[in-house]
Structure 1
Amino acid sequence: MTDARGYHHGDLRRVLLAAAAVAIEESGPAALSLRDLARRAGVSHAAPAHHFGDKPGLLTALAVEGFDLLAAALKAGDGLLEMGVAYVDFAVRRRAHFEVMYRSDLYRADAPEVVAARGRSRAVLRSAVADLPPGPGAAGGVAGDALAAWSIVHGFATLWNAGALPDEAGDDPREAARVVIRRLFGSRVDARGRAAPAARSPRTPA
């Protein structure tokens, strides 16, 4: 199936999502409109509404895409350290997705496809902390470690994207994140950023 401009149905959806990401990076999500999106993609004004219904529907689809892209990026990280670096890299390279994903007021956060995609990305992160040895004040088990790890990398990424970090952070977000993560998790990861050898048997989730 193609539209009047020659796009196949699935291709047009991808084109619209890509155009939305560019628009959000340029002007933020508040300024995005379906009419402007159609203009950017070079399609009829009705095309975005046909695919997404309305603006919240469009941003819901963008959030789902973002969570799935994040899950894939995290899976490519070898161990907790590099997984955290991958999170920061994702946030820096895909700023539009990152901004929308964690602004649940912008889209239908309780939509089944969002819940599933968000769950997939969280599961990858939890898998990385499951083998960590207990740390100081380790109440909360795997869930507590996952929350701590996410808070560290998400906070760092948010500060980096806002330009709020001091000059000492340098100009390489991946390397700066690597230093921060290693400093905070210390002896709980080995030289390669994986769970320390003493923690190879998985813990029971809290």
Structure 2
Amino acid sequence: MNSAEIPRATYHHGDLRTALVSAAEGLLASGATLSLRAVAKAAGVSHAAPYHHFANLDALLAAVATRGFHDLAADMEAAHPGVDTAARLVGHCTAYVAFALARPAAFRLMFSPLLQHKADHPALQAAADGSFEVLRKTAHAHVAEGADELALAGWSLAHGLASLAIDGALSTAPVPMPSAQDLAALLASRLLENLPTGRAGSAGGG
């Protein structure tokens, strides 16, 4: 079918940008080769339609990663919304791992070399920084000193565990292994053990 044969309604998609981002993530998840043409086909729009919103494939991938970081931040926030800051930190880590397991292709894209060029994509930079800020804000509510280091430790723990989980490495570990989410909760709790908080239970930021 050429562009002249595509129904006119195709050009008036209710939310073309969102449809393209969803189609791109779907193709990533399936392992298909990604191109703007393939994304347009998956979204049911003309081959030229993606260029109304994205200058090139990198711009579309940046949008997929941006949505991923927004969703990750929301999942982390929702994991344990109470005032107990230790429980919130543990919840952030378990939600991080759960996100990676649920959307491994998006997770890999979010931390691909594309992230090294996030300054070229302001929305991506803001979303990536915002997801870390969720963890950092709770860390500052939990401890009087060393909050940034605690946030970095929690991020490193969650990200390393998430990467091991989606790569299947945990299933071959030579020790008894709970689920990845349970392991995240256990290790995050161990990280917080005997940590002098100075602000325990506070709901405020640093």
Same fold at TM > 0.5: yes
Superposition pairs of residues 73-112 of structure 1, within 5 angstroms: 73-78=75-80, 79-105=88-114, 108-110=117-119, 111-112=121-122
1:177 deviation in Å? 1.8
* TM-score (norm: length of structure 2): 0.79
The match for 1:179 is 186
8 Å CA contact retained: 1:56, 1:106: no
1:33 deviation in Å? 0.9
Distance in structure 1 (CA, Å) of the matches to 2:205 and 2:115: 36
Distance in structure 1 (CA, Å) of the matches to 2:27 and 2:155: 27
SS at match of 2:10: coil
The match for 2:28 is 24
Gaps of 5+ in 1: 189-194
Identity over aligned pairs, percent = 37
The match for 2:64 is 62
**Structure 1 letter corresponding to 2:101:** V
Show structure 1 runs of 4+ deviating over 6 A: 195-198, 201-205
| Cα separation, partners in 2 of 1:72 and 1:204, compared to 1, 3 Å | closer
The match for 2:17 is 13
8 Å CA contact retained: 2:142, 2:200: yes
The match for 1:156 is 161
For residues 180-204 of structure 1, give each alpha carbon's deviation from its aligned partner in whole angstroms, at most 9, with x where no partner exists.
222333344xxxxxx9686356999
Distance in structure 1 (CA, Å) of the matches to 2:135 and 2:199: 20
Instruction: Give the paired residue count.
Output: 189
1:7 deviation in Å? 4.6
**Structure 2 letter corresponding to 1:96:** A
